[in-house]
Amino acid sequence: MRSAPNRSYKSAPILENNGKEDVTSLLVKRFQDMLRDGLLRQGSRLPPERDLAAHFNVARSSLRQALKVLEVMGVITQKVGDGSYLNTDTSAVLAVPMEFLFLLDDTSVGELTELRLLIEPGLARLAAERATAGDIALLRQSIRDFESSGGDNLKIVSSDLLFHRAIFQASKNGPATSVFHSIHRAMAKMILVTSQLVDLEHTLAFHKPIMQAIERRDGDRAARLMAEHLTDATALLTREQEHQHQRLLQDRIARERRPLLRGKTASSGKN
Q: For the segment 117-136, give every residue that binds a second copy (CB under 8 A).
A: 118-119, 122-123, 126
CB-nearer residue toward DNA: 15 or 188: 15
Residues in 151-180 that interact with a second copy by CB under 8 A:
173-176, 178-179
User: Are the C-beta atoms of residues 118 and 227 closer than 8 Å to each other?
Assistant: no
Residues in 175-214 that interact with a second copy by CB under 8 A:
175-176, 178-179, 183, 193
User: Are the C-beta atoms of residues 67 and 41 closer than 8 Å to each other?
Assistant: no
CA–CA distance, 148 with 99 (Å, rounded to integer): 29
49 binds, among a second copy, DNA, none (CB under 5 to 8 A by kind): DNA
Residues in 76-95 that interact with a second copy by CB under 8 A:
86-87, 90, 93-94
Overall residue count recorded for the chain in this entry = 271
Residues in 19-78 that interact with DNA by CB under 7 A:
22-24, 46, 48-51, 57-62, 64-65, 67, 71, 78
CA–CA distance, 90 with 169 (Å, rounded to integer): 13
Tell me if 268 contacts DNA by CB under 7 A.
Answer: no
Q: Which of 24, 84, 158, 159 binds a second copy (CB under 8 A)?
A: 24
User: Are the C-beta atoms of residues 171 and 130 closer than 8 Å to each other?
Assistant: yes
User: CA nearest 196: which of 232, 252, 245?
Assistant: 245
CA–CA distance, 240 with 234 (Å, rounded to integer): 10
CA–CA distance, 74 with 162 (Å, rounded to integer): 20
Tell me if 43 contacts a second copy by CB under 8 A.
Answer: no
For DNA, the binding residues (CB under 7 A) are: 2-3, 5, 7, 9, 12, 22-24, 46, 48-51, 57-62, 64-65, 67, 71, 78-84, 270
